[in-house]
Amino acid sequence: MNSLARTLPVALALGLGLVALSPSWAQQPDDRIDPRSAHLLQQGQAAQAAGRLPEAVDLMETALAVDPRNRNAFLGLASVARAQNLPGKAIRLYREALELEPNDVRALAGQGEAMVQKGAVERAKLNLARVKTLCKGSCPEYGGLAAAIAKGPPPAVVSAQAATTTPPKGEEAATVKPE
């Protein structure tokens, strides 16, 4: 019991020291990403470029399993999600990348483009303003997002939004009566 009383404060001090140091390793720069994760990401990007999207997803998810700080793997997965017409999933993946680096203009612009793809143009404009603030001058991310906003959401999203709007007050919605 006496030895426990002597070692407990030392153990607590070591534990607190580890807790204090943990945020520093959790937010390491991209150049300190596990090389195996970076290699898996490169393979996933090659698979995506070849049009093998399921394989690309598998490789990029494995890259994240190896090193969850690999922000570029989140960006790659988001890009694949957009290519698969899954803008909601892409928005979530871009948000994961932004949690690792809140000022990543690639993630902000990509998320904004996914928002436009989903029909959330006003939210995309907020991302555009943030990208403009972060880019000191011109940057391709700003131009790409501005072009996506100017183009607007895909026609399928626009017509789906129009179909779900309620009729003006005093007017009834058209209903089809079964025969």
Q: What is the pLDDT of residue 155?
A: 82
Is it the case that residue 160 has pLDDT exceeding 60?
Answer: no
- Confidence at 101, pLDDT banded by 50, 70, 90: very high
Number of structural domains found in the chain: 1
Confidence of residue 162 (pLDDT cuts 50, 70, 90): low
Examine residue 69 and state whether it is found in any structural domain, yes or no: yes
What residue type is assigned to position 165 of the chain?
A: T
pLDDT for residue 103 is more than 90: yes
Residue 77: pLDDT over 50: yes
**Average pLDDT of span 141-146:** 94
Q: Considering only CA atoms, which of 44, 105, 109, 41 is closest in space to residue 70?
A: 41
What does the pLDDT read at residue 53? Answer: 97
Supply the CATH number for residue 146's domain: 1.25.40.10
Q: Which of 11, 24, 70, 22 is nearest to 44 (CA)?
A: 70
- Mean pLDDT throughout 111-137? 94
Q: Is residue 57 part of a domain?
A: yes
pLDDT band, very low/low/confident/very high, at 91 (cuts 50, 70, 90): very high
Identify the domain containing residue 131 by its residue range.
Answer: 33-159
- pTM for the model: 0.71
Mean pLDDT of the region 116-135: 95
DSSP string, 18-35: HHHHHHHHHT--GGGS-H
120 inside domain: yes
Q: How far apart are CA 138 and CA 24, in angstroms?
A: 32
Determine, yes or no, domain membership for 119: yes
17-70 tens-digit pLDDT: 433 333 433 444 556 899 999 999 999 999 999 999 999 999 999 999 999 999
Would 127 be classed as within a structural domain? yes
Q: Which two tokens stand for residue 136?
A: 């000191």
